[in-house]
Amino acid sequence: MEIVVRDLEVVYQSGTPWMKKALDGVNLTVPGGSFTAILGVTGSGKSTLIQAIAGLIRPTRGIIRIGSHLIDANRKQTADVRRLIGLVFQYPEHQLFAETVAKDIAFGPTNLGLPQSEVDGRVKQAMEWVGLDSELADRSPFQLSGGQMRRVAIAGVLAISPKILILDEPAAGLDPKGQEEILSLLKRLNQDFGVTVILVSHDMDQAVRYADRFCVLAEGRSVLSGTAKAVFSRADILSSYHLELPEITRFVQLLNRKLDPPLPEDVFTLDE
């Protein structure tokens, strides 16, 4: 399911001295079935953008089209669209609440009004996907390790069978093995089941390794977006924004290595 964002503006606390334009004319196309990484320094608008796409924040200008559904300043996201999108917040384990792992994961599908047998099937499947042993189903989620709690939280989102999965730093704070497992799971859901994945990540290596499209935000604007090749070929644009130069250089090198065949590394150098 394709997502198109056009001229998106989001203003926080409008009409107060604390007014902040967090997004200022963002354009982005996320083809259905793609794996898109959203990159940018802290405060560049990444969280605001994904919350707007997920329908939690209303645009002050511009449109977001999800399939054939439109959201704009006057039109809220409908329940039909909301159930297509799974949003995994940063540190999602903070939102666990039920007395058992199974009940926590079942919350979403139960709310969709699915029959109990279907809910049970989805809980089992979601636990398998995230690599949680079925014996943990009746345990309290609060007795689990941090990494396991993260998996329970992600399983709860997968259990609603979203067509679009949006995640804000889903691997943050996990050890390297745990990070790898989460990212590989996302790649599998994307490749084998056609789930559209939008990943917000600070980790450039991780983002370039798993994503096939990129969107770089700076100061609330989408300064560059598209495939690895398209972004690589216009990466000179990045040097005109207040981004950290070593980070950009590294990003460009990683993108280049992803290209087939890669160009010589010294072909592209950014001015100091």
Number of residues that bind ligand ADP (CB under 6 A): 12
Give the residue with the Cβ less far from ligand ADP, 23 or 119.
23
Q: Mention every residue, 6+ apart, whose C-beta is less than 8 A from residue 177.
A: none
* One residue of 20, 76, 94, 188 binding ligand ADP per CB under 6 A: 20
- The CB-of-202 to ligand ADP minimum distance in angstroms stands at 9
- The CB-of-109 to ligand ADP minimum distance in angstroms stands at 29
Which residues within the stretch 237-266 sit at the binding site for ligand ADP (CB under 6 A)?
A: none
Which residues within the stretch 26-55 sit at the binding site for ligand ADP (CB under 6 A)?
A: 40, 42-48
Give the residue with the Cβ less far from ligand ADP, 20 or 229.
20
Handedness of CA 87, 216, 222, 227 (dihedral sign): negative
- The CB-of-54 to ligand ADP minimum distance in angstroms stands at 13
Q: Mention every residue, 6+ apart, whose C-beta is less than 8 A from residue 19.
A: 11, 12, 13
Q: Is 167 helix (H, G, I), strand (E, B) or coil?
A: strand
What's the full length of the chain, in residues? Answer: 272
Could you tell me whether strands 213-218 and 35-39 are parallel, antiparallel, or unpaired per DSSP bridges?
parallel
Give the residue with the Cβ less far from ligand ADP, 160 or 216.
216
Please say whether the beta carbons of 1 and 84 come within 8 A: yes
* Site residues (vs ligand ADP, CB under 6 A): 12-13, 20, 22, 40, 42-48
